[in-house]
């Protein structure tokens, strides 16, 4: 297995605040990786650095053995890294299907100026987009304005339109945040399915420990912008530094009761 | 749906026939004058819509293109000693001037957004006005005159009416093509969330620049027509600070974000303001009256007359029916997505 996405010694400061301080992460191809850490530990900043929304002060981002540090977001996306946002960012005044087409058109560039005005190439995009909407279960809403979707539906739409461009790695920023339990399970299922059937690589930030532990093969823990530890969920769960920094005594106490079903879920896959 | 499309195209044909027949029915030059100037502003409004209406970047420097189109024609006609109808051959030059000016203008202004963008466009506008006042080739504060056209008043206005009508129809067709294309979709995605659009592979700067150049081209072209129609341009009329204000008011009056709204606003406001100018009793007050009318409309129809009117009609037609069809929640209604299992065509179990 090869490392598909990797960061080395990323630092990023906002004024006096050191958001990232040597953050390192490595995501193996075809795996689901997790990124956890307390609030303000730099998870989203690391996502922003990887996807080109922020330029790091120092350090390198490698994607498929190619440095992509400081590339513009559209170039990073074209290279094959898709992402969702913590607060979902959809295009509220476009319809759901139009949201999907925005991402779809990134893949095939029109051959000439006139093709920009055409819509001929859209039929197969439209069909693919509808399939993906059905995959996440919101195809009935294809022609409504995306702004009228509920929060959970927006999360699904965001996932779908990242998928439409068929990226190699998908970065998910809190896919389960603020979403009802039924939907959380559905999102987890979809991620698992994409991983198993199409070999998609995922990197996800999440505070829902059950979700992360059940889904991810490797987990990286960030604290104060630096990587504390990285490894399989079992290792993370029992790591003293992680317990002190993030998971805290709560999960320690829960370990006897709540951790068991989580483990089952994990091994059950 | 089909009946609606039919009604729509039927309506458009009726409008176009009316527009074509207008100067034949009302041949009085003082009436056709209203028509020419209304169409000039309608074209400029559609030009504004292509960039600002789609992207949400409120540009207040369109007079830069309008004035530059007028000056380009005036300077070329003077220096190349062109006469009479041959001057119309310079209209493409006006258009190209607009496109070329949009490049440096856009490179500066399109780096910033929202309020900063508005301020930068205004600043660039004043730079152009100052240049028109002070360059050696622009004729200073007295401006430029155009070559003489030996047409009688009636055909004079009628011919210019048809030229302006052709420009307006052309601009509307371009705006419509942009609106339905993937290019237009990208522009509207930029309006909703530019950073997100970039993250989905939209080359925001290129796309905005292309729209800005189209907008500049159309505005400069109609600036050339306007110049030859009035036979003159001065720095304060070509680069008129009220031009952009009027344009934006027309669009917000008619309906921001739609082609029809932009055209409608121009076709109402421009003749209205010209007419108010002719009323002796309102001498000196006419702009106040116009301002009051606009404020009233914006107060009661904040999104413009077209969207508010459309809502009103929908309200009457759907009276008694529920406004929104109740939607079932996703998780709770697996039966409502019967196609779901067949869709995981990517190799599902």
Question: Domain residue spans in chain B?
Answer: 27-321
Chain B hits for A186, CB-CB cut-off 8 Å, are 330-331
Any A CB within 8 A of B337 CB: yes
Q: What is the pLDDT of residues A32-68, one digit of tens each?
A: 999 888 888 888 889 889 988 888 888 888 898 888 8
Chain A hits for B180, CB-CB cut-off 8 Å, are 119
Q: How confident is the model at residue A112 (pLDDT cuts 50, 70, 90)?
A: low
Q: Which residues contact A184 (CB under 8 A, 6 or more apart)?
A: A176, A208, A211
Predicted confidence (pLDDT) at residue B319 exceeds the cutoff of 80: no
Instruction: Tell which phi-psi region holds residue B90, choosing left (phi > 0), alpha (psi between -120 and 50) or beta.
Output: alpha
Answer for the pair A87, A160: CB distance below 8 angstroms, yes or no.
no
- In angstroms, the CA A252 to CA A3 distance is 32
Residue bearing the bigger pLDDT, B322 or B270 = B270
As beta bridge partners, residue A203 has A33, A171
- In angstroms, the CA A265 to CA A261 distance is 6
Q: Give the mean pLDDT of B244-253.
A: 88
**B152, burial (CB in 10 Å: exposed 0-12, middle 13-18, buried 19+):** exposed
Tokens for A234? 């079992």
Total Cβ atoms within 10 A of residue B50: 30
Predicted confidence (pLDDT) at residue B337 exceeds the cutoff of 80: no
Q: How confident is the model at residue A258 (pLDDT cuts 50, 70, 90)?
A: very low
Predicted confidence (pLDDT) at residue B332 exceeds the cutoff of 60: no
Task: Return the residue in B181, B195, B200, B344 with the most chain A beta carbons within 10 A, the one to mutate for interface testing.
Answer: B200
Q: How confident is the model at residue B329 (pLDDT cuts 50, 70, 90)?
A: very low
Any A CB within 8 A of B338 CB: no
Q: What is the pLDDT of residues A181-224, one digit of tens each?
A: 888 888 888 888 888 888 889 999 988 888 888 888 898 888 88
Predicted confidence (pLDDT) at residue A254 exceeds the cutoff of 80: no
Q: How confident is the model at residue A119 (pLDDT cuts 50, 70, 90)?
A: low
Q: Report the CATH fold assignment for B27-321.
A: ABC transporter involved in vitamin B12 uptake, BtuC (1.10.3470)
The domains of chain A are located at 3-87+168-268
Subunit contact A116:B182, Cβ cutoff 8 A:
yes
Q: How confident is the model at residue B328 (pLDDT cuts 50, 70, 90)?
A: very low
What was the pLDDT predicted at A108?
Answer: 64
Q: For chain A, what is the largest distance between any 2 Cα atoms, rounded to a whole number of angstroms?
A: 65
Q: Distance from B258 to chain A by nearest Cα, in Å?
A: 13
Tokens for B191? 């309006």
Task: Return the residue in B330, B336, B338, B348 with the most chain A beta carbons within 10 A, the one to mutate for interface testing.
Answer: B330
Predicted confidence (pLDDT) at residue A252 exceeds the cutoff of 80: no
What was the pLDDT predicted at A167?
Answer: 87
Q: Based on C-alpha coordinates, what's the Rg of chain A?
A: 19
What was the pLDDT predicted at B340?
Answer: 32
- In angstroms, the CA B46 to CA A251 distance is 61
Q: Quick check: helix, strand or coil at residue A63?
A: strand
What was the pLDDT predicted at B36?
Answer: 94
Q: What is the pLDDT of residues A77-93, one digit of tens each?
A: 888 888 888 878 889 98
**Bridge-based pairing state of the strands A3-14 and A58-63:** antiparallel
Subunit contact B344:A135, Cβ cutoff 8 A:
yes
Judged by average pLDDT, the poorest of A18-27, A157-166, A250-259, B210-219 is: A250-259
Predicted confidence (pLDDT) at residue B343 exceeds the cutoff of 60: no
What was the pLDDT predicted at A42?
Answer: 87
Q: What is the pLDDT of residues B145-162, one digit of tens each?
A: 888 888 888 888 999 999
Residue bearing the bigger pLDDT, B137 or A112 = B137
Q: Distance from B104 to chain A by nearest Cα, in Å?
A: 21
Q: Distance from B88 to chain A by nearest Cα, in Å?
A: 27
Predicted confidence (pLDDT) at residue B131 exceeds the cutoff of 80: yes
Subunit contact B182:A122, Cβ cutoff 8 A:
yes
What was the pLDDT predicted at B176?
Answer: 92
ipTM of the complex: 0.73
What's the start-to-end Cα distance of chain A, in Å? 19
Q: Give the mean pLDDT of A120-147.
A: 82
What would the CATH number be for the domain defined by A3-87+168-268? 3.40.50.300
What was the pLDDT predicted at B333?
Answer: 39
Q: How confident is the model at residue B331 (pLDDT cuts 50, 70, 90)?
A: very low
What was the pLDDT predicted at A113?
Answer: 55
> What's the pTM?
0.80
Give the side-chain half-sphere CA count within 13 A for B40. Answer: 28
**Any idea of the CA torsion for A159, A160, A161, A164, to the nearest 10 degrees?**
120
Q: Give the mean pLDDT of A94-104.
A: 86
Q: Give the mean pLDDT of A138-159.
A: 87
Predicted confidence (pLDDT) at residue B325 exceeds the cutoff of 70: no
Answer for the pair B73, B52: CB distance below 8 angstroms, yes or no.
no
Predicted confidence (pLDDT) at residue A269 exceeds the cutoff of 50: no
What was the pLDDT predicted at B339?
Answer: 33
Any A CB within 8 A of B111 CB: no
- In angstroms, the CA A87 to CA A255 distance is 31
- In angstroms, the CA B237 to CA B231 distance is 12
Q: Give the mean pLDDT of B305-313.
A: 82
**191-230 in chain B: CB under 8 A from chain A:** 191-193, 195-204
Q: What is the pLDDT of residues B19-73, one digit of tens each?
A: 888 888 888 888 899 999 999 999 999 999 999 999 999 899 999 999 999 999 9
């Amino acid at each position: 297995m090869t490392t598909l996405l990797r960061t080395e010694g990323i630092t990023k400061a906002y004024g006096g605040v050191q958001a990232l301080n040597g953050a390192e992460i490595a995501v193996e191809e075809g795996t689901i990786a997790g990124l956890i850490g307390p609030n303000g530990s730099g998870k989203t900043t690391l996502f922003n650095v990887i996807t080109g929304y922020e330029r790091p002060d120092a350090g390198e981002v490698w994607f498929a053995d190619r440095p992509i540090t400081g590339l513009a977001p559209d170039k990073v996306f074209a290279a094959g890294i898709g992402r969702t946002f913590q607060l979902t960012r959809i295009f509220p005044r476009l319809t759901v299907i139009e949201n999907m087409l925005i991402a779809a058109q990134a893949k095939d560039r029109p051959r000439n100026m006139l093709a920009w005005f055409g819509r001929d190439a859209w039929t197969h995009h439209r069909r693919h987009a509808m399939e993906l909407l059905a995959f996440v279960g919101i195809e009935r809403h294809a022609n409504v304005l995306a702004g009228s979707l509920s929060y959970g539906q927006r999360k699904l739409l965001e996932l779908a339109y990242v998928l439409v461009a068929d990226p190699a790695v998908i970065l998910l920023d809190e896919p389960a945040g603020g979403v009802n339990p039924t939907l959380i399970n559905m999102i987890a299922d979809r991620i698992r399915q994409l991983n198993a059937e199409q070999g998609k690589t995922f990197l996800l930030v999440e505070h829902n420990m059950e979700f992360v532990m059940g889904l991810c093969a490797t987990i990286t823990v960030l604290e104060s912008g630096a990587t504390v530890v990285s490894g399989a969920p079992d290792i993370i769960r029992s790591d003293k530094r992680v317990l002190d920094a993030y998971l805290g005594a709560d999960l320690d106490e829960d370990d006897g009761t709540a951790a068991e079903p989580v483990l089952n879920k994990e091994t059950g896959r | 749906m089909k009946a609606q499309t039919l009604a729509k195209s039927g309506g458009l044909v009726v409008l176009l026939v009316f527009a074509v027949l207008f100067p034949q029915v009302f041949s009085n030059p003082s009436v056709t004058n209203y028509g020419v100037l209304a169409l000039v502003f309608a074209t400029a409004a559609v030009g504004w819509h292509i960039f600002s209406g789609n992207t949400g970047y409120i540009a207040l420097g369109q007079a830069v293109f309008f004035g530059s189109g007028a000056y380009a024609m005036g300077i070329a006609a003077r220096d190349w000693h062109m006469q009479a109808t041959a001057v119309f051959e310079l209209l493409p030059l006006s258009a190209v001037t607009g496109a070329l000016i949009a490049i440096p203008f856009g490179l500066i202004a399109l780096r910033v957004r929202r309020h900063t963008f508005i301020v930068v466009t205004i600043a660039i506008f004043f730079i152009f006005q100052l240049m028109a006042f002070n360059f050696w080739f622009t004729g200073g504060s007295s401006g430029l005159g155009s070559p003489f056209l030996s047409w009688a008043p009636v055909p004079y206005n009628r011919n210019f009416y048809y030229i302006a009508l052709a420009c307006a129809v052309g601009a509307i067709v371009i705006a419509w093509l942009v609106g339905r294309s993937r290019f237009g979709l990208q522009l509207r995605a930029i309006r909703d969330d530019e950073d997100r659009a970039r993250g989905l592979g939209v080359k925001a700067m290129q796309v905005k620049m292309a729209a800005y150049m189209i907008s500049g081209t159309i505005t400069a072209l109609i600036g050339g027509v306007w110049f030859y129609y009035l036979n003159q341009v001065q720095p304060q009329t070509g680069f008129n600070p009220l031009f952009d204000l009027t344009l934006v008011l027309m669009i917000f009056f008619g309906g921001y974000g739609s082609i029809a709204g932009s055209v409608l606003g121009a076709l109402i406001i421009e003749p209205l303001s010209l007419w108010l100018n002719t009323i002796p009793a309102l001498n000196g007050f006419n702009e106040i009256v116009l301002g009051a009318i606009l404020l009233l409309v914006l107060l009661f129809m904040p999104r413009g007359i077209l969207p508010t009117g459309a809502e009103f009609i929908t309200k009457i037609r759907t009276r008694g029916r529920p406004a929104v069809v109740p939607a079932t929640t996703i998780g709770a209604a697996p039966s409502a997505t019967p196609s779901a299992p067949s869709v995981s065509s990517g190799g599902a179990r």
